[in-house]
Amino acid sequence: MTITLTVNGKDHDVEADPDTPLLYVLRNDLALNGAKFGCGLGQCGACTVMVDEQAVLSCVTPITLLQGKAITTVEGLGTIDNPGPMQAAFIEEQAAQCGYCIAGMMMAAEALLKRNPDPSDDDIRAALRTNLCRCGTHMRIMAAIRRAARPQSQPMKRTG
């Protein structure tokens, strides 16, 4: 079956079973490898993308539900040469250690900032509750999200 998916602002006709998880289409058909396969059960968040500006676990979301919706992956936030604000904040705060979870963290945080541009630390923690990291950079991840949330003209305020 052919399904048209809009990923990072571009339409892609995908030939796949309608029950195919979005993660497999992103990685195998569209060569968008930012979203990672972690658990395959929607429990780790490594595969998080945005669908219509909401965080979605792509490993458990069938493509049949996504036609006509705007899908954004970490690749859609910016490029290596021109990172988006969230990506730049993660770089500036050195928030990645192994990096496996970071794309999912960024996408969950980006979805949070779309609905709440000035989140509290509790809001950030709640938004990241489905995203697991074993490396221990949680404080830098929090700082990166706070950095991405603040207007560029305001100085960074550290909390913690």
Which pLDDT tens digit goes with each residue over 5-34? 999 999 999 999 999 999 999 999 999 999
Write the burial class of residue 118 (CB in 10 Å: 0-12 exposed, 13-18 middle, 19+ buried). exposed
Q: What is the pLDDT of residues 92-119, one digit of tens each?
A: 999 988 889 999 999 999 999 999 999 9
Q: What is the pTM of this model?
A: 0.90
| 105: nearest Cα among 121, 122, 125 | 125
Decide: helix, strand or coil at residue 90: helix
Exposure on the CB side of residue 81, measured as CA atoms within 13 A: 0
Nearest partner of 26 among 40, 18, 39, 36, judged by Cα: 36
